[in-house]
Amino acid sequence: MSEPIPAPSLTLHPIGYVRSGKQVKFQTLHQPAESTEERNLIELLPDQDYEHALRDLAGFSRIWLVWWFHKNPNWRPLVLPPRGPAQRRGLFATRSPHRPNPIGLTPVKLLGVEKRVLIIGPCDLMEGTPVFDIKPYIPAYDSFPDSAAGWTDEVDDGFDGPPSFTVRLTPLALAHADWLRTNWKVDFTARLLELLSRDPTVHRGRRIRRRNESQFVIGCGAWRAVFRVETEVVEIDSLEAAYPLRFLGDAEREGIPDRNAQLAFIARWKQEKGVTDSPTVRGVKPGPTTRRVRPQ
């Protein structure tokens, strides 16, 4: 083998930033879902003549975004993809964010161009993600629908079709979800139901762990859901604030998502030290489940 040529280090400058409002990873999809109705923005930087660079782009219904996983400090050669069985895969055979050069690549619907702002459809980028480049998506060059997709083909065979589990919320969990939605406009139940209806088994990548003999916990960004599984039914017992009070009350700690909502939740629902262990809360009796959900 010939001697490798030492690679120069490169300096890249963002051309703009994503405004998706998604403050935590849990809120962002693993890949953009075509079926969801979403409007996100990419704001390009001023004084760079990017307005001219955007000329002629509006005629394309899709664009590629080349971007930086700026919230990922490290990379790993083997990763645990969130879909499918808990099996590690070689990083380069996945779309994991944990890459030596954390570059993301996402095709998104282009809904409009207004001066230096692009209006785009569903995306898998968090709020504030730096964008390095934009290219038109050209089906003749970029689409090869018959290509083999390695291990994802096997996993998707089991994933396509109807969800495997029915998910229900207890009255307490319903009360938590309604209170969060009404008072804080926090609503992560659709994503929670989607994930649990597919596979509620313990999995680090899906942030599911066992809490005790009968209960499991799934991390949902700033929140958690406690649930049980019996054959093909998942019952969500309660929702919880994910951060402990000592973090929430520490003004030095920056960037805690939904901080005030978490503090108010703990006060309202008497959540002790960031954990609701008892499902019995004044005014809400644990009892038969009231809502059965089968996500589309």
Q: What mask of x and - would describe binding to ligand SAM in positions 77 to 116, judged by CB under 6 A? A: ------------------x-x------xxx----------
Of the pair 72, 166, the CB lying nearest ligand SAM is at 72
Of the pair 91, 263, the CB lying nearest ligand SAM is at 91
Of the pair 191, 228, the CB lying nearest ligand SAM is at 191
CA distance 63 to 120: 9
> HSE-up of 212 (CA within 13 Å, CB side)?
4
Contact flag: residue 30 with ligand SAM (CB under 6 A): yes
Of the pair 126, 195, the CB lying nearest ligand SAM is at 126
Of the pair 105, 267, the CB lying nearest ligand SAM is at 105
Least distance to ligand SAM, CB of residue 267, Å: 30
Segment interacting with ligand SAM, rule: CB under 6 A, options 3-11, 35-43, 65-73, 113-121 = 65-73
Segment interacting with ligand SAM, rule: CB under 6 A, options 70-78, 165-173, 241-249, 279-287 = 70-78
Q: By C-alpha distance, which of 64, 138, 70, 71 is closest to 106?
A: 64
Taking the CA atoms of residue 10, residue 14, residue 20 and residue 24 in that order, the dihedral angle to the nearest 10 degrees is 40
Q: By C-alpha distance, which of 56, 168, 49, 70 is closest to 128?
A: 70
* Helix ranges restricted to H, 225-289: 245-248, 259-268
DSSP class of residue 86 equals S
| Contact residues for 128 (Cβ-Cβ < 8 A; gap 6+) | 17, 18, 19, 70
Contact residue for ligand SAM among 71, 115, 270, 273 (CB under 6 A): 71
Of the pair 190, 267, the CB lying nearest ligand SAM is at 190
E strand or H helix that includes residue 181: helix 171-184
Contact flag: residue 122 with ligand SAM (CB under 6 A): no
Collapsed DSSP state (helix, strand, coil) of residue 182: helix
Q: Tokens for 73?
A: 């400090």
**With contacts defined by CB under 6 A, how many residues of the chain interact with ligand SAM?**
18
Contact flag: residue 207 with ligand SAM (CB under 6 A): no
Contact flag: residue 72 with ligand SAM (CB under 6 A): yes
Contact flag: residue 28 with ligand SAM (CB under 6 A): yes
The sheet with strand 291-293 has its strands ordered as 208-210, 216-220, 223-230, 233-241, 166-169, 291-293
Residue ranges in contact with ligand SAM by CB under 6 A:
25, 28-31, 69-72, 95, 97, 104-106, 124-126, 129
